[in-house]
């Protein structure tokens, strides 16, 4: 099918401007406006990028109306049921599911990159004991750009691979170091005989004074949460990684920028905010007053873990996590009254015309915190857990951006509404 052409008309002159559309493999067409400024002197205006495709990508597809999420074409539900986080990492980075040998090699490579330089470890001593873990993790990941000078030639594919392996492998180690710093315990070194989730639990919770037994249910729950967080196309943090990386900056700095963007409560920081909100609500009978506050235009309170820029239907990840929350709490034998509050809150909100009309559904962050809590992970670490899962998505997008033949430095324009030209007035005459 030939590409569609859209016509814009200059109302002053009646001149017609033809804009060609490009079709993706699935999803809406995009109108190619690249020549608009050069040929017509016009910009487009789209704050928040609600209607703007900033790049071409082959990694992840979301249909927000249908509630569909696919990594490299595979529905997230199938990956959550049948796959492992390591396999999903390979898929996102390389485009196809690995063979058994490829998966073994990839897992071995990631597993043998888990240690961090002792100098990086000492950086934690520079942070106050009550520093937020996201602040420490963003800072320490940024500091990785001061190491590994041997492998940061961004034009070298082998260097790009090593960078991705290091980020995926070392982020749990850095996260655990941040946690240990917060609780004043000695750092626990990684164990390369353990799988990804088990090693994370070991680094978080093992102490020198006594043996620590890893609960396989907890490790599996983490693996599944990491799969569900692994990528989400051009979200705020991923777009930040792409934009920072588009200047050809050191890739570790670009990931640090992504971590900083993820921290905000409108994005990944919502998982921490959800738990705080559920604790504040406390009991189901207090839900109506919080629903009323969320609907009140004069109150800045929002239902955290509700709503999404793209999903106007149930977030498929939230659906999986909700089922998983019951299973994990049962298996761990840990009932949590906050789960009852969350479920009742969801039920009430989904029947309320405000949430129905605005198509506000639970998102990925709504139930995940209840699982993290059951695993013993403190609330302030929730967004760090999100970052660990999302790191592979950031790496995959950074690699796609760097190798995109149409890629250029990201440089948006603006609608300027400030003062027109005016002359400087000497300070004594103002």
Which residues are catalytic, by number? Answer: 308, 365
- The dihedral through the CA atoms of 212, 213, 216, 221 has a sign that is negative
Among 87, 223, 365, 400, binds ligand ACO (CB under 6 A): 365
- Hey, which residues does 211 pair with through a beta bridge? none
Among 304, 324, 342, 396, binds ligand ACO (CB under 6 A): 304
**Cβ atoms of residues 283 and 329 within 8 Å:** no
67 touches ligand ACO (CB under 6 A): no
316 touches ligand ACO (CB under 6 A): no
Token pair, residue 428, equals 């004594």
Stretch that binds ligand ACO, among 169-177, 216-224, 307-315, 374-382 (CB under 6 A): 307-315
**Whole-angstrom Cα distance, residue 364 to residue 403?**
30
**Cβ atoms of residues 87 and 103 within 8 Å:** yes
Stretch that binds ligand ACO, among 203-211, 302-310, 321-329, 417-425 (CB under 6 A): 302-310
DSSP one-letter code for 362: B
Span 254-283, contacts to ligand ACO by CB under 6 A:
266-268, 270
- Closer to ligand ACO by Cβ: residue 132 or 232: 232
CB of 278 to ligand ACO, least distance (A): 13
Residue 430 CA neighbour count, 13 Å, CB half: 5
345 touches ligand ACO (CB under 6 A): no
- Closer to ligand ACO by Cβ: residue 180 or 267: 267
Token pair, residue 272, equals 């921490």
Q: Where are the alpha helices (DSSP H) in 59-147?
A: 76-82, 85-94, 100-111, 118-123, 133-143
62 touches ligand ACO (CB under 6 A): no
**Whole-angstrom Cα distance, residue 148 to residue 235?**
28
CB of 364 to ligand ACO, least distance (A): 5
CB of 200 to ligand ACO, least distance (A): 20
363 touches ligand ACO (CB under 6 A): yes
139 touches ligand ACO (CB under 6 A): no
- Hey, which residues does 5 pair with through a beta bridge? 20
**Whole-angstrom Cα distance, residue 420 to residue 266?**
35
**Whole-angstrom Cα distance, residue 166 to residue 169?**
5
Query: Which residue in the shown chain puts its C-beta closest to ligand ACO?
Result: 307
Specify the pairing of strand 5-9 against strand 60-63: unpaired
- Hey, which residues does 63 pair with through a beta bridge? 68
Stretch that binds ligand ACO, among 95-103, 131-139, 360-368, 399-407 (CB under 6 A): 360-368
- Closer to ligand ACO by Cβ: residue 16 or 297: 297
CB of 282 to ligand ACO, least distance (A): 19
- Please give the distance of CA 404 from its chain centroid, rounded to a whole number: 22
Stretch that binds ligand ACO, among 135-143, 170-178, 181-189, 304-312 (CB under 6 A): 304-312
- Please give the distance of CA 338 from its chain centroid, rounded to a whole number: 24
∠ CA 270-275-277 to the nearest 5 degrees?
A: 85
Among 20, 309, 312, 344, binds ligand ACO (CB under 6 A): 309
- Closer to ligand ACO by Cβ: residue 20 or 302: 302
Q: How many CB atoms lie within 10 A of CB 25?
A: 7
- Closer to ligand ACO by Cβ: residue 57 or 188: 57
CB of 393 to ligand ACO, least distance (A): 11
Measuring CA to CA, which residue among 157, 154, 175 is closest to residue 252? 154
- Closer to ligand ACO by Cβ: residue 57 or 235: 235
Size of the site for ligand ACO (CB under 6 A): 19
Rounded to whole angstroms, what are the CA distances from 311 to 71, 151, 248, 361, 362? Answer: 16, 38, 32, 8, 10
3-class secondary-structure state, position 4: coil
Stretch that binds ligand ACO, among 11-19, 26-34, 248-256, 357-365 (CB under 6 A): 357-365
CB of 173 to ligand ACO, least distance (A): 24
DSSP states of 9-55: E-TTT--EEEEEEE--SSS--EE--TTHHHHH------GGGTT---S
Among 70, 110, 167, 294, binds ligand ACO (CB under 6 A): 294
CB of 169 to ligand ACO, least distance (A): 23
CB of 24 to ligand ACO, least distance (A): 21
User: Rule CB under 6 A: which residues touch ligand ACO?
Assistant: 48, 266-268, 270, 294, 302-309, 358, 360, 363-365
């Amino acid at each position: 099918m030939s590409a569609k052409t859209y016509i814009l008309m200059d109302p002053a002159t009646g001149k017609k401007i033809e804009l060609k559309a490009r079709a993706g493999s699935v999803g809406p067409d995009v109108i190619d406006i690249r020549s608009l400024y050069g040929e017509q002197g016009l910009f487009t205006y789209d704050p928040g990028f609600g209607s703007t495709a900033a790049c071409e990508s082959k990694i992840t597809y979301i249909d927000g109306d249908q509630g569909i999420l696919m990594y490299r074409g595979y529905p997230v539900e199938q990956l959550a049921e049948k796959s492992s986080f390591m396999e999903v990492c390979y898929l996102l980075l390389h485009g196809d599911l690995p063979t058994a040998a490829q998966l073994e090699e990839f897992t071995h490579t990631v597993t043998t990159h888990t240690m961090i330089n002792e100098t990086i470890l000492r950086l934690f001593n520079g942070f106050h004991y009550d520093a937020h873990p996201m602040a420490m993790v963003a800072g320490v990941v940024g500091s990785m750009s001061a190491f590994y000078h041997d492998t940061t030639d961004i034009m070298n594919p082998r260097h790009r691979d090593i960078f991705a392996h290091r980020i995926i492998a070392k982020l749990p180690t850095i996260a655990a170091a941040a946690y240990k710093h917060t609780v004043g315990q000695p750092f626990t070194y990684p164990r390369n005989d353990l799988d990804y989730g088990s090693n994370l639990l070991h680094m978080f919770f093992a102490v020198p004074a006594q043996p620590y037994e890893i609960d396989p249910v907890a490790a599996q729950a983490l693996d599944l949460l990491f799969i569900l967080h692994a990528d989400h196309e051009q979200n705020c943090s991923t777009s930040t990684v792409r934009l920072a990386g588009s200047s050809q900056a050191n890739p570790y700095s670009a990931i640090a920028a992504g971590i900083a963007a993820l921290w905000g409560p409108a994005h990944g920081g919502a998982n921490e905010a959800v738990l705080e909100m559920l604790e504040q609500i406390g009991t189901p009978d207090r839900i109506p007053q919080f629903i009323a506050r969320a609907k009140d235009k004069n109150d800045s309170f929002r239902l955290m873990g509700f709503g999404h820029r793209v999903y106007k239907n149930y977030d498929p990840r939230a659906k999986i996590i909700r089922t998983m929350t019951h299973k994990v709490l049962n298996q761990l034998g840990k009932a949590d009254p906050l789960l009852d509050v969350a479920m009742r809150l969801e039920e009430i909100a989904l029947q309320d015309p405000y949430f129905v009309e605005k198509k506000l559904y639970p998102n990925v962050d709504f139930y995940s915190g209840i699982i993290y809590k059951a695993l013993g992970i403190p609330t302030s670490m929730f967004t760090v857990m999100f970052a660990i899962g999302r790191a592979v998505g950031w790496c995959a997008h950074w690699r796609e951006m760097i190798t995109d033949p149409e890629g250029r430095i990201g440089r948006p324009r603006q609608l300027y509404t400030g003062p027109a030209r005016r002359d400087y007035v000497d300070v004594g005459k103002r």
